[in-house]
Structure 1
């Protein structure tokens, strides 16, 4: 399975920090079998919004192997391009296992695959429900600034939110990196 990372409009070092923080806290580094196969779409600026450019990147990296299962992880503006690419990839016969949006506030998320949101605060979490709540979600508590979700997910404490339970729900405390790890294990 491939994990496709679609970052937002920010310094590339933040994406490296995200991957390191997520992997260091959520996997056994001594066991290479547990290391996910990650592809980072390196489009910068306006290209992060382009589903077409992400799709071309996928076609190039996966050699048009549509049957290869993929999980998309998008952050901020990268969620826009990533959801479009995931939908088009699936419409062309691609195997999209899941879509994970990290702080994709204001981005409608619908698809014929599981969708999850991670938000930097409760307001962003609940106000995103009208744009597609997805399945299991996460929100930071206490709230953090937007870039902290990407820079250091292992340091962002919060709650697992299941929209089928409704609001309010009992807290299930963990950090964002742990939440990501648990989601990815579900789709192995």
Structure 2
């Protein structure tokens, strides 16, 4: 399973912290870490908005493995470039197993692949649903700072919600990293 990490506009150390927090949670789950390939798109500043830079990176790293399934995990402004790159990657014949947007507030998310949103508070979760989301989403409760969602997902507590029904159905309380781990476990099995 290849995970494409598309950071936002922030200190690169936050992305390293995100990956460490996610991997520490994955190591506690039944996901086989040996089969996980994490690729971080090396863009900074406004280039995080550029799907062309994301696609260039994907082509450089996975060009000969177009059919290999990928999961996008994107954050903040990085969601903009990542969703457009995911559409294009799929149009080229690539397989997008899932798209996960962390605090991609205001970014329309549609595609013929599974989409999930994680939000730093309920308002961001609720106000983003009309712009597209999948069935399984997450919001922090109590609310946290925007960058905390990326820096320390293992410390952010909140709710897994089923947004496929008219009124969100809260299914359980867990951390953002546990929610991500459960999504990855689900897609690893498919």
Aligned to 1:34: 33
TM-score (norm 2): 0.94
Aligned to 1:132: 132
Change (3 A) 1:32 1:103: closer
How many residue pairs align between the two structures? 187
How far did 1:63 drift? Answer: 2.8
How far did 1:28 drift? Answer: 4.3
Aligned to 1:187: 187
Q: Secondary structure at the match of 1:173?
A: strand
TM-score (norm 1): 0.95
How far did 1:164 drift? Answer: 2.1
Q: Secondary structure at the match of 2:61?
A: helix
Separation in 1, partners of 2:133, 2:60 = 31
Aligned to 2:118: 118
Q: Which runs of 5+ in 1 are unaligned?
A: none
Q: Which runs of 5+ in 2 are unaligned?
A: none
Please tell me the root mean square deviation across aligned C-alpha atoms, in Å.
Answer: 1.6
Q: Secondary structure at the match of 1:16?
A: helix
Contact 1:9 1:44 in 2 (8 A): yes
Aligned to 2:74: 74
Contact 2:69 2:97 in 1 (8 A): yes
Change (3 A) 1:65 1:168: closer
Contact 1:28 1:34 in 2 (8 A): no
- Alignment map for 1:164-179 (pairs within 5 Å): 164-179=164-179
Separation in 1, partners of 2:4, 2:90 = 14
Separation in 2, partners of 1:92, 1:107 = 23
